[in-house]
Amino acid sequence: MLLLLLVSCRSAAQQQEEAAFYLQNKGSDTMVNLALAWAERYQQENPQVRISVTGGGSGTGIAALMNGTVDLANASRQMKEEELAQAQQAGYSPMEFVVARDAIAVIVHPQNPVDHLTLEQISLIYRGKINNWSEVGGEDRPIVRLSRETNSGTHVYFLETVLRLGNKDDKTIFSADTLLMPSSEGIIAEVSDNPNAIGYDGLGYVTADVKTIAVSADPNGPFVLPSVETVNNGQYPIARDLYMYTLQNPPTGLVKAYLDWLLSPSGQAIVTELGFVPVLTNP
């Protein structure tokens, strides 16, 4: 019996020690490659630490945080009022950290002659009011609309900021024929294959296989392409913060150490490497 008790105590102690050096991180698909790169570099610098990173969408990550199954939730949008209310009812006060910035690039097939659009034109396209490329200076071709799925923070941001043009009273949704894609990579692949397609994606996912559209909030321009520079100087109109949330408020232990590192020059240098926009001026 004494031997069994000692084994049991040792096992519990080992479990506590392992928990002290293990983080679970889940959420935004836009951020998943960035989060994986962060985790890999941090583990190289801190071999005793293990970090598990999975995607699934911002809503999925926030739900997992509320359920207490992850330490950090990645989100490409802010928590919704109902999510915050749910957390408060459970006795939590989630803490928000802006860990990077991102531009949402509007993309088309490289052979599409359209190279610039206003926010209003993009809104009308996704509302189903503009249905042919000839209506915006292109060829006589039907427009194929692509969007991320509804659990994606990028979907929510684009819906509220672009389709609804920031009008909180507007309840318009995406045109019923919009194709919902399960991943950022899926949108890139479909746009690169379909001359009629239009899509949107985080700047860090855009490849040379697609064409990026210059965007303006004003019909008279200027029309601006997304880049680190145009996000930082406020010229590109479709830019957003990227977040991590923790139930610890304020965070402690490994969670705090990891967040401090993410916001350090070392962590923010990876943001730049992956095509996102750092929150530090000189990472």
Rounded to an integer, the average pLDDT of 178-190 is: 95
Q: What is the CATH number assigned to the segment(s) 15-100+243-273? A: 3.40.190.10
Percentage of residues in the chain having pLDDT higher than 70: 92
102-117 pLDDT, tens digit per residue, is 999 999 999 999 999 9
As a whole number, the mean pLDDT across the chain is: 91
Look at residues 152, 148, 156 and name the one whose alpha carbon lies nearest to residue 59: 152
Look at residues 39, 31, 67, 61 and name the one whose alpha carbon lies nearest to residue 275: 31
What is the pTM for the complete model shown? Answer: 0.79
Rounded to an integer, the average pLDDT of 71-87 is: 93
Q: Report the alpha-carbon distance of residue 176 to residue 272 in Å, rounded.
A: 36
SS3 state of residue 27: strand
Predicted pLDDT at 20: 62
Checking if the pLDDT of 90 tops 60, the result is yes
Predicted pLDDT at 6: 43
Q: How many CA atoms lie within 13 A of 248 on its CB side?
A: 13
Residues of the chain with CATH 3.40.190.10: 15-100+243-273, 102-239
170, 162 in Cβ contact below 8 A?
Answer: no
Region of 275 (left: φ > 0; alpha: ψ -120 to 50; beta: rest) is left
Q: Report the alpha-carbon distance of residue 217 to residue 209 in Å, rounded.
A: 26
Lowest pLDDT segment from 115-119, 127-131, 201-205? 201-205
Q: Which CATH number fits domain 102-239: 3.40.190.80, 1.20.58.100, 3.30.930.10, 3.40.190.10?
A: 3.40.190.10
Predicted pLDDT at 258: 98
Predicted pLDDT at 4: 46
Tokens read off for 114: 């359209």
